[in-house]
Homo-oligomer: A and B are copies of this chain.
Amino acid sequence: MRPSQALRLWQQVMLSQVRDDAPDLTMRQTAILFTIYLDPPPHTVRGLAARLNVTKPVITRALDTMGALKLVSRHRDELDKRNVLIRRTVEGALFVERFGDGIIAKAHELPI
């Protein structure tokens, strides 16, 4: 794949995200969501903040909004009750899966 094709693909996926009427996640929210679903658990606020190089409140707030959208869920760590463990949800898994399928679909439509 060449850079020009990659850019075209990126544009198409971005456009499909913007065009549909679902509330689009911010760049940070998307990065957090994908990290939760692609990196091995467990995921904590602190861990995600370090991985993304952002402050902890950023993670907390992103989890608030994505939690309201049922894309992730939070649970206290019973072994160390300071920790909050972030878990995947069925809805979130579906969202991410569809996103991946969307990329592939756009890739197939790409001009040579």
Interface residues of A, Cβ cutoff 8 Å to B = 1-4, 6-8, 10-11, 13-15, 17-19, 24-28, 30-31, 34-35, 37-38, 51-54, 96-97, 99-101, 103-104, 107
A24 to chain B, nearest CB (A): 5
Which 3 residue pairs spanning A and B have beta carbons closest together? A3-B100, A11-B34, A6-B103
Report the bound CA distance from A97 to B7 in whole Å. 8
Interface majority SS (helix, strand, loop, mixed), chain A: helix
Does the CB pair A30–B14 fall under 8 Å? yes
Chain B residue at minimum C-beta to C-beta distance from A21: B53
Chain B residue at minimum C-beta to C-beta distance from A11: B34
Report the bound CA distance from A96 to B14 in whole Å. 14
Report the bound CA distance from A38 to B2 in whole Å. 14
Does the CB pair B1–A52 fall under 8 Å? no
A79 to chain B, nearest CB (A): 28
Does the CB pair A31–B14 fall under 8 Å? yes
A73 to chain B, nearest CB (A): 20
